[in-house]
Amino acid sequence: MKKFKRFHGAVLTAVLSAALLAGCGSSASPAAAGKESAKAATTEQTGNSASGGQAGAAATEQTRLDKILTEGKITNVCEPYFAPYEFIDNTKSGQDQFRGADMELARYIAKDLGVELEIVPLEWSAVLTGVTEGKYDMACAGLGYTEERAKTMNLSDIYQQGSKQGLLIRAEDSDKYKTFDDFKGTKVGFQSGTIQETLATQQLPESELVTYDLINNAVLALDAGKVDAVSVAIPNGEMFAKSNPKLAVFEGQYFERGKNGNCIGLPKGETALRDRVNAIIAEVTEKGLYQQWLDEAVQEAKALGLDVN
């Protein structure tokens, strides 16, 4: 999760310029109610007042949610190569080419707020810095919860429970490893900026950790004998092992995790925006919409010939 990332990175540059120029938006009657409730929430936070001096002071304390509602647009940054959560359908154009369950959640949030959604495709490290530096409004992008991320972002409530995390190894080495202790002194790879990096760093301190820009490159290094294991989300590991019988998921031990699942990353300090997003997530969860979007996205991605995580 989350972003556990990512595939088809080579095509990102080609799609980026066109995607950044395109935008989509919609409005509906529920959105107006959402907008009004959001304004009410932010009124308390900014201390808005009808009197001249106080109103001027409040204006200087405009929240990000205020800005989104005023400008009529919210930006969502993602790395769209992680089907079924986010992926590209090259038969479509503009903003509509960005598909997946998380893209539908982002669209739902925008509709509820009554604003336009702009999806911005970037590589994963730029997704993270784009949110932490406040360049974008949110990252609804298969972003897994970690304590480290919670220190640099406002993280929403979890909308998709996470999967097990562990190691992918060469099948021929299956008898060599019984527990994580057996990986002391071995080389363990992972994609930079992911939960898999955090877990390997924390729980395999005596392994030699090797960073890769893409999970595919880490797996290729494993197959070539350049590393001894790769830190993966177990569903991803199973997919790699299925497509390459020389690889296998290590079943002796999994990484320990606390809070586990996908959430939306928001700029630090923007509590009004976080609270509004959490209210929308609660509604989506109650209606069972995310699972519906996920099921549809799986079928759509498979029809496009994409690997599904």
For residue 74, the domain's CATH number is 3.40.190.10
Domain range spanning residue 186?
Answer: 165-249
At residue 309, the pLDDT reads: 75
Whether 113 and 28 have beta carbons less than 8 Å apart is answered as no
How many domains in the chain? Answer: 2
Helix (H/G/I), strand (E/B), else coil: 4 = coil
Q: Per-block average pLDDT, block size 10, for the chain (309 residues)?
A: 42 38 37 43 45 50 95 98 95 97 98 98 96 98 92 96 93 96 98 92 96 94 98 93 96 89 96 98 96 96 90
Q: Is 26 a domain residue?
A: yes
Residue in this structure with the two tokens 């932010």, named with its chain if needed = 42
Q: Is 254 a domain residue?
A: no
At residue 60, the pLDDT reads: 63
Q: Which two tokens stand for residue 293?
A: 């979007």
At residue 25, the pLDDT reads: 37
Residue in this structure with the two tokens 């990252």, named with its chain if needed = 139
At residue 37, the pLDDT reads: 44
Q: Is 4 a domain residue?
A: no
SS3 letters for 151-176?
A: HHEEECCCCEECCCEEEEEEHHHCCC
Same domain, 177 and 225: yes
